[in-house]
Amino acid sequence: MSNTHTDRFLISVPNPIVRLVGFDGAVDLRGDVLRFTWGLEANPRKRMRLHRSTLAINNIQSTTWMDWRNDPDKIGYLRFQPVGTQRLKHQTVDATTVLLETDEQFAEAIVFAATVLERKQLKKVLPPSAKKTDNALASPPDAAELLRKLGELRDAGILTDDEFQAKKKEILDRL
């Protein structure tokens, strides 16, 4: 099963987390954008230059969760690598990396990363600018499946009611 490719995750995030507080700052998932805010524990280069930074979820190339026991520098973190990034900065100064310290932060970081990746995957399944053409019309079973999945994501707290209504309207407009 692990070698089988799908266009969606087979299991939804049961209790999505939309805010992760780490050792050096916090990251919030607001709609389709990650907003990073750095605290006093953040490296001065990260904090002074970029007290706040953002990253659109469709611009995430990869996500890395690192336990401090496996990191050469013994620093745990959750990193969202932007598209086009060739050389990664050290995790203590990278503006898209939240440092983790406690077991609770490590556990929440896994759920937060899964929530972000699920939301990103949903954007691929439901593109925002679907155009009506004879070949691009969704068939009723496809639309029903998409609406069911949207409802599940809304019920799980991954989508807001406004996001749900907007996507639902897009799907119905394609019929």
**149 CB-near residues (< 8 Å, 6+ apart):** 8, 122, 125
Question: Given strand 76-82, what is the order of strands in its sheet?
Answer: 60-66, 76-82, 97-100
Query: Quick one: pLDDT band at residue 29, thresholds 50, 70, 90?
Result: very high
The predicted model gives 104-118 an average pLDDT of: 92
Q: What is the pLDDT of residue 80?
A: 95
Q: What is the pLDDT of residue 131?
A: 41
Q: For the chain, what is the mean pLDDT?
A: 80
Tokens 């983790």 correspond to 100
Maximum CA pair distance of the chain? 56
Q: What is the pLDDT of residue 47?
A: 78
Q: Percent of the chain, pLDDT > 70? A: 79
The predicted model gives 144-164 an average pLDDT of: 80
List the beta bridge partners of residue 97: 79
Tokens of 21: 């507080």
- Rg over alpha carbons for the chain, rounded to the nearest Å, is 18
